[in-house]
Amino acid sequence: MNKKVLTSVLLGFLAVLLVVGLVYQFTPNVGSLFGKQSSGTPAITVNGQTVTVEEIQALQRSNPVLSATTEGILGEDLKTVAVESRIENALLKAASSGENISRADVNEQVDKVRKGNNLTDNKAWVDRLAQIGFTDASYREEVQSGLAIQKKQKSIADAAPKATEAQLKQFYSLNKDQLQDEARIIGREIVVADKAKATALLAQLKGGSDFATLARENSTEFKDRGGALGPVTGGKPAAVTQVALPPEVSAAAFALTGGGLTDVISSGGKFYIVKVEQFVPAAAKSYESVKKQITDQVNQLLQTAAAEKWFDGLRKTAKIDYVLPAWKINNPTVATVGGQDIPYSDVLSGVVGNQQFASLLQQVPADQAGSMVNQFLKPGIAEQLIEQYAAPTIVADKKLDLVGSRANLAQQLALYGSKDASVTDQDVIKDYQQNVAKYTTKASATLSEAVFTDRAKALAFRQSFDGKNFVQAASKAGGTVSERGSVTAGDAALSPALSKAVFDTSSLRPAGEGSVSDVIENGKTYSVAYVTDLVRANVKPLKEVDAVIRSQLLAQKRAEAGQAYIKAQMKDIKVDNKLSAVLAAQEKRIAAAAPKPATPATPPVTTTPVTTPPAASGTEPAKTPATTTPAPDSTSTPTKP
């Protein structure tokens, strides 16, 4: 059973597990609704409860992933997922059948669905149900079963143990990064619509002018409070978080951890200057201030663990009989961890729920996708499951106050094992130097080019152009004009010589609102470029990206340390990973079941008679061999099982 779905059930009691990523929501326009259980062709019995062929096929049809193919490795896997999910759903229904759900409860839920889907008209409602294989009565039966499952799982959640003080403090210590106040700044801004004006204002500020005064006189935002980013109380602006500013402006302002002025920053057609008066770094919230919040979180983890244990018990004791051999699935053990068996269907649940898998199905044929999934996805998912199954044993052995499902425990063990990971200044500097291209903004400009066949004309035009109308002036001078628009350094559309003359030179001559390049020789032609909106290449300084680099490196180090810790603790746990053997057996089974190509019949072959010389005196003449016709090739074409 998928633990993410279980968790969502416990949190909201709004869903019933069917398959990874597929949630039963009592909505008639989703594919998780199936036909009436009492009718149809029996395929499987689960503790005596029948699962029909029609139910399985409806699930397959309803989900584009499950219906991707019925052939080969992938076809067998998707069939296993569909059948296993119906088995699990049957277990949930049977285990919840004793819950009392009133007709009024069912009617209320159905009414919500009808109103929410604009199906209050009876005919529209009945027609919509018919499209997905329901009558009103059979749909209400499904709703009743779903509500019963919700009620059963709520009772399990309510009976789960409550968080202890030790568990709360352990959770707090491992999750401080998610339990902290955001970094904030106390500052002011000036926002204007004209870049030249913003540049002039920045020069005044650098010359010592009062920021608040210039903001009142010029800013289009917050001018009434001197450009203060936050409300002013007692003459001091309140601190604000990054969302108070556009992303580009926020990044520059929050990089000024020591305070100061940003450059002019363009965003959304406006030009910003920010003065950071005080930087307030992110800080962990106190335990007492978040105790209620983490109590709810840890209690939810305990409820999830209880639900997982309950469902494991259902699955372990389930009696499953396959009425129709065609729907029997291969669900071997892919690994044994400390005596606990991991079924192959758990790996497949991870595959179907993986975003890369859905993307893969859209890019390659199903037969290729099956091999790629076996090679790349399944091994990684199996390793994750092995770690998850080992996690409870590690937690118990280490006497840690961690709680939750197997997946929850594995995540928290990784946090525990990486709690001492840190990043040094040298780490940050090294990463910055190795990846400086990531922090470099390429030069850009708006470009027009005039091409001449005569160098003298190109030179004369360059010297005479006054910046008024490039196209008109160049055409009049005998040039052919190409308006290239917005370009960047290294653009494939620019010749190396043109790119260099525009972006890698100091010899551009000012002309009107832009500048003209030197004459550029291109074989037998000569060109002059007119450049406007030129932005030089810019490398963000280390101090501006320090926080980003530090955060990324810390996440990387923690991931590595957490993984290493879990691997180290698993050395004393007996693990038998059988995935390779399971996949090899699957490939052999699929190959054996595949139809064999027909072998063409061999046409009759006539043997050429051999002329035998006359026999020697006193002997019988040799007989001429008869012409023989071999029997046709009797190879037959086997039919597909």
Q: Using one digit for the tens of pLDDT, what is the confidence trace for 399-434? A: 999 999 999 999 999 999 999 999 999 999 999 999
According to the model, what pLDDT value does residue 296 have? 97
pLDDT of 131: 82
From 536, 568, 588, the end of a domain falls on: 536
The answer on 214 and 97 residing in a single domain is: no
| Mean predicted confidence (pLDDT) in 457-470 | 94
pLDDT of residue 600: 65
Do 485 and 509 share a domain, yes or no?
yes
Residue 106 has pLDDT above 60, yes or no: yes
- The tokens describing 387, both together, are 């770690």
Tokens of 71: 């052939």
Please report whether residue 250 resides in a domain: yes
User: CA–CA distance from 321 to each of 42, 86, 207, 406, 592 (Å)?
Assistant: 11, 13, 86, 29, 25
Domain of residue 193: give its range.
Answer: 183-281
Same domain assignment for residues 44 and 188:
no
Is the pLDDT at 12 greater than 60? The verdict is no
Residues 6+ apart with CB under 8 A from 277: 185, 186, 187, 188, 237, 259
The position carrying tokens 């799982």 is 153
Residue 513 near residue 466, CB atoms below 8 Å: no
Q: Do 168 and 69 share a structural domain? A: yes
Give the tens place of pLDDT for each residue, 492-538.
889 999 999 999 988 999 999 899 999 999 989 999 999 998 888 88
Q: Tell me the mean pLDDT in the region 68-81.
A: 94
Q: Please, are residues 310 and 285 in contact by the beta-carbon 8 Å criterion?
A: no
Residue-averaged pLDDT of the chain: 86
Decide if 544 is inside a domain. Answer: no
Are residue 107 and residue 213 in the same domain, yes or no? no
Contact 443, 534 (CB under 8 A): yes
pLDDT band at residue 306 under the 50/70/90 scheme = very high
Does the pLDDT of residue 583 top 90, yes or no?
Answer: yes
What is the number of domains present in the chain?
A: 3
Judge if 125 and 252 occupy the same domain: no
One domain for residues 311 and 457? no
Over pLDDT 90: what percentage of the chain?
A: 68
Q: Examine residue 572 and state whether it is found in any structural domain, yes or no.
A: no
Say which residue, 203 or 35, is predicted with more confidence: 203
Do the domain assignments include residue 154?
yes
Instruction: Provide the β-strand partners of residue 240.
Output: 185
What is the torsional sign of CA 425, 431, 435, 439? negative
Q: What's the pLDDT score for residue 407? A: 96
pLDDT value, residue 636: 37
The whole-number pLDDT of residue 3 equals: 43
Rounded CA separation 8/20 (Å)? 12
551 within domain boundaries: no
In a domain, 547, yes or no: no
Residue 2 confidence (pLDDT): 47
**Span of 296-305, 360-369, 609-618 with lowest mean pLDDT:** 609-618
**What 8-state DSSP symbol labels residue 293?**
H
Question: Does residue 13 lie within any of the structural domains?
Answer: yes
Task: Please state, in angstroms and as integers, the Cα–Cα distance from residue 586 to each residue in 384, 445, 579, 582, 593, following that order.
Answer: 21, 58, 10, 6, 11
Do 59 and 207 reside in the same domain of the chain?
no
Q: Do 170 and 191 share a domain, yes or no?
A: no
- Last residue of some domain: 498, 513, 536? 536
On whether both 16 and 136 belong to a single domain, the answer is yes
pLDDT at 37: 45
Reference 388, options 362, 369, 414; nearest CA is 414
Residue 327 has pLDDT above 90, yes or no: yes
Question: Is the per-residue pLDDT at 624 higher than 50?
Answer: no
> Residue 536's pLDDT is what?
86
Question: Does residue 254 or residue 132 have the better pLDDT?
Answer: 254
Q: What local confidence, expressed as pLDDT, does residue 20 receive?
A: 28
The stretches of 477-629 forming alpha helices (DSSP H) are 496-503, 542-569, 579-593
pLDDT digits (tens, 9 = 90+) for 135-157: 899 899 889 999 999 999 899 99
Strand partners, 515: 510, 531
What are φ and ψ of residue 164, in 5° steps?
-95, 165
| Residue 134 pLDDT class (50, 70, 90 cuts) | confident
| Section 464-468 average pLDDT | 92
Are the beta carbons of 244 and 230 closer than 8 angstroms? Answer: yes
The C-alpha R_g of the chain, in whole angstroms, comes to 37
Q: How confident is the model at residue 491 (pLDDT cuts 50, 70, 90)?
A: confident
Lookup result for tokens 């018919």: 130
Q: Could you tell me if residue 351 is inside a domain?
A: no
Name beta bridge partners: 514. 511
pTM for the whole structure: 0.74
Helix (H, G, I), strand (E, B) or coil at 577: strand
Q: Which of 280, 252, 277, 279 is nearest to 264 (CA)?
A: 252
User: CA 439, 486, 539 angle in degrees (round to 5)?
Assistant: 15
Confidence of residue 602 (pLDDT cuts 50, 70, 90): low
| Residue finishing a domain among 507, 536, 565 | 536
CA distances from 570 to 8, 37, 335, 401, 626 (A): 29, 45, 14, 18, 78
Which of 281, 206, 271 shows the shortest CA–CA distance to 241? Answer: 281
pLDDT band at 124 (very low <50, low <70, confident <90, very high): very high
Task: Tell me how crowded residue 252 is: count the other CB atoms within 10 A of its CB.
Answer: 21
Residues 227 and 135 in one domain: no
509 beta partners: 516
CATH number at residue 130: 1.10.4030.10
Torsion sign, CA atoms 377, 380, 383, 388 = negative
Provide the CATH number for the domain around residue 265: 3.10.50.40
pLDDT score of 622: 38
What does the chain come to in residues? 641
Residue 612 has pLDDT above 60, yes or no: no
User: How many Å apart are CA 388 and CA 130, to the nearest integer?
Assistant: 43
SS (H, E, C) 453-484: CCHHHHHHHHHHCCCCCHHHHHHHCCCEEEEE
Q: What tokens does 14 get? A: 């709004």
Same domain, 102 and 205: no
